[in-house]
Amino acid sequence: MKKRLFIGTKVRLDELDKVRKEITSFGIEGKWVEEENLHFTYRFLGDFEEEKIPPLILSLKGKLKLCRAPEVVYRGVGFFEKKGIPRVFFVRVESEGIQRIKNAVDQALLPFGYPLDKEFVPHVTLLRIKRFRRATKFKSYVHRMKDFVFGEGKVNVVTLFESKLTSQGPIYTAVEEFHLD
């Protein structure tokens, strides 16, 4: 049996209602991430054999115990494009220490056949865009919000999540939590 897994950190952000109203006013439509599901991902594992989860937890625990809890600032917004059209709208995650956690996660995954990730862009997805209009207003908004701080703090927990896809949206369940000092 397999479980759909990812490794991430849950996030709480301020001022999201204001952002949602403004983006919606531009005629942009899509699926907003529920507040309880806000997170940033170190690594998406996809379907993972259940019997390999205990050794994965041990490997992650061994690598992450060497990491300190880094300071993080959630600042500014951005988007990922597909064929020149914004498809994912997000908040940027700024932190020098996040890369050390990402490296530890990648090292823990090597024995399970996951190669090192080449590119890591820490972000918190807010909206998966389905219909995009008013590009000028949207890009102006992204520029205007480049220094807006949605929150800050320490990343004290890295979580191995199971993700179950439902018609109402994904349900994330913590399989194991790794606490950082």
Q: b/e map of 2-17 (b: 16 or more CB within 10 Å)?
A: ebebbbbbbbeeeebe
| CATH 3.90.1140.10 is right for the domain spanning 2-179 | yes
- Grouped pLDDT means (10 residues each) for the chain, 181 residues: 97 92 91 95 97 98 96 96 92 95 97 92 96 87 95 96 92 97 89
Q: How far apart are CA 120 and CA 151, in angstroms?
A: 21
Q: What is the pLDDT of residue 136?
A: 87
User: What integer pLDDT is reported at residue 160 of this predicted model?
Assistant: 98
Tell me the C-alpha distance between 113 and 115, whole Å.
6
Question: Could you state, in order of their start, the residue ranges of all structural domains in the chain?
Answer: 2-179
Residues tagged active-site: 39, 123
User: Nearest Cα to 155, choosing from 2, 9, 48, 4?
Assistant: 9
Nearest Cα to Cα of residue 72 among 13, 32, 142: 13
Candidates 45, 2, 3; CA nearest to 171 is 3
Q: For 149, list phi and psi in degrees, rounded to 5.
A: -100, 120
Q: Can you give the pLDDT at residue 65?
A: 96
